Amino acid sequence: MFDISHTAGKEIVASMVQFVNAQPNAPAYRKFKIKTVAGNDDFASMREVVRRRYQRLLEEKKHLPDLIIVDGGRGQLSAAAGVLRELKIGAPLIALAKKQEEIYTVGRRFPLRLPKNSEALKLLQRIRDEAHRFAISFHRQRRSKSLFKKN
């Protein structure tokens, strides 16, 4: 799962967390400094990080995930889906939007809403919360470093 974190477009970072058999696989977590996006553009940031991650996996001939999740709604889903299409990666992709806990999927017009007590939803929330925690901690680290840079 990918998540973008920034403060008003400053110190933009992304996180990627991986779960295996419903458990966090912390050694596979990755942090990304967004390099090509200026300002507050979560969609462009998502495109950059998804491209960097999967282009590298393809180049290194590494295993692709069984499911790719992005934090956000239809816009983040579309951004990631475009990159995966360009890279010819057919792994399933979904987006989890926090407000109503809606699940957006490629090719489906309306989001899916799982029952609040659904174990599947609880797992998705846990993965999202972990990606969010990891992104925010990296963002705070970058932000505090930038405060102490010499001019």
Going from N- to C-terminal start, the domains of the chain cover: 2-147
Report the topology of domain 2-147.
Nucleotidyltransferase; domain 5 (3.30.420)
Record the pTM: 0.88
Res. 21: pLDDT tops 70: yes
The first and second tokens of residue 24, run together, are 């966090």
Query: Mean pLDDT lowest for which of 38-42, 61-65, 86-90?
Result: 38-42
121-139: average pLDDT: 89
Binning pLDDT at 50, 70 and 90, where does residue 24 land?
Answer: very high
Residue 73 carries which side chain, given as an amino acid letter? G
Res. 58: pLDDT tops 80: yes
How many angstroms separate the Cα of 121 from the Cα of each of 8, 18, 76, 118? 30, 16, 19, 5
Binning pLDDT at 50, 70 and 90, where does residue 7 land?
Answer: low
Phi-psi region of 142 (alpha: psi -120 to 50; beta: other; left: phi over 0): alpha
The confidence score (pLDDT) of residue 85 equals 97
